[in-house]
């Protein structure tokens, strides 16, 4: 812990100023690149350097957004967000639960190891058609898809975290006569809050991948559907517009996890 002195020294003032200026510079360029990119894209389209039918154009994308309610984008966003959240929550909960079982029983964990390795390296998208046949072409197929993609990663990540819990902490708890259940709830789990959130951050992205892939296949609703549909009818404005919305949705969901992490860590005083 550094004690901030009451009166800030000149050197410190200079240091803080430099830091601030450095940050502003980075932010400036981040925004500038985006603006520049959009401007070049727009102008190139206006001047006919690029084919806006294939590459679309910022103004045309904006126009698509203006008719949000008309072309139902809002509903599609809602569908995708809903499916992603359900897949994400299920994946995180089920994955953590399985990791707990594997941590608990060395035997089960040894037996299941080769299966986990194979499942982990299998491209889960390949299961898409099978999933649709099993659970039907609808929302549930999409959620199962998201689950399939995120589950094994969560299990492995959490298990790894549980296993690398500080041995000495566990020994300390054992000296007080802690049961396995107590060791888990009082040492292993709270010691892995960071692992949990790291895995949630990976998970939110993976669930979205699963949902979009699922929507491509099921083709009924959602941003994934919109992208496929837009591609088929050559409405590239719709495709580009949806992709942009998708990245915003992904960023917002990620941010939500980061905020949740901050709240939880603050509660644990770290």
Partner 1 sequence: MEVLKVSGIGEKYQSQNGEVTALSNINFSVEQGEFMSIVGPSGCGKSTLLSIIAGLLKPTEGTITLNGKLVSGVSPQVGYMLQRDNLLEWRTILKNILFGLEIQKKLTPENIAYAEHLLKTYGLYEFKDKYPSQLSGGMRQRAALIRTLATNPDMLLLDEAFSALDFQTRLAVTDDVYTILKKENKTALMVTHDIPESISMSDRILVLTRRPGTVRNIHTITFDMEQRTPLACRSHIQFNTYFNTIWNELDVHV
Give residues in contact with partner 1 (CB under 8 A): 1, 166, 168-169, 171-178, 182, 186-187, 190-191, 193, 268-270
Supply the minimum distance, in Å, between the C-beta of residue 177 and partner 1: 4
Supply the minimum distance, in Å, between the C-beta of residue 1 and partner 1: 6
Supply the minimum distance, in Å, between the C-beta of residue 181 and partner 1: 11
Supply the minimum distance, in Å, between the C-beta of residue 73 and partner 1: 43
115/4 Cα distance (integer angstroms): 54
Scan for tokens 């951050």, then name that residue. 201
Q: Do the beta carbons of residue 115 and residue 201 sit within 8 Å?
A: no
Instruction: Considering the complex, state which of residue 110 and residue 186 has its C-beta at the smaller distance from partner 1.
Output: 186
Supply the minimum distance, in Å, between the C-beta of residue 178 and partner 1: 5
Instruction: Considering the complex, state which of residue 132 and residue 187 has its C-beta at the smaller distance from partner 1.
Output: 187
Q: Do the beta carbons of residue 25 and residue 205 sit within 8 Å?
A: no
52's tokens: 């806006």
Instruction: Considering the complex, state which of residue 179 and residue 247 has its C-beta at the smaller distance from partner 1.
Output: 179
Instruction: Considering the complex, state which of residue 18 and residue 262 has its C-beta at the smaller distance from partner 1.
Output: 262
């Amino acid at each position: 812990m550094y004690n901030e002195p009451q009166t800030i020294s000149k050197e410190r003032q200079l240091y803080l100023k430099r830091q601030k200026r450095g940050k502003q510079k980075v932010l400036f360029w981040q925004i500038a690149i985006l603006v520049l990119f959009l401007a070049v894209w727009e102008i190139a389209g206006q001047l006919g350097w690029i084919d806006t039918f294939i590459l679309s154009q910022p103004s045309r994308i904006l126009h698509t957004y203006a008719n949000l309610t008309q072309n139902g984008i809002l509903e599609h966003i809602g569908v995708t967000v809903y499916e992603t959240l359900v897949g994400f929550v299920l994946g995180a909960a089920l994955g953590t639960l399985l990791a707990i079982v594997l941590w608990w029983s060395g035997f089960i964990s040894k037996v299941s190891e080769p299966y986990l390795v194979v499942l982990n390296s299998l491209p889960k998208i390949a299961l898409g058609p099978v999933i649709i046949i099993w659970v039907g072409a609808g929302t549930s197929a999409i959620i199962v898809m998201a689950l399939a993609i995120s589950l094994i990663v969560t299990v492995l990540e959490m298990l790894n975290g549980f296993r690398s819990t500080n041995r000495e902490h566990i020994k300390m708890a054992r000296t007080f006569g802690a049961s396995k259940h107590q060791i888990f709830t009082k040492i292993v789990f709270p010691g892995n809050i960071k692992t949990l959130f790291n895995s949630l951050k990976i998970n939110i992205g993976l669930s979205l991948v699963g949902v979009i892939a699922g929507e491509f296949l099921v083709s009924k609703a959602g941003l994934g559907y919109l992208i496929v549909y837009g591609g088929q009818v050559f409405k590239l404005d719709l495709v580009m517009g949806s992709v942009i919305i998708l990245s915003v949705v992904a960023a917002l969901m990620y941010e939500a996890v980061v905020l949740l992490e901050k709240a939880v860590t603050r509660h644990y005083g770290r």
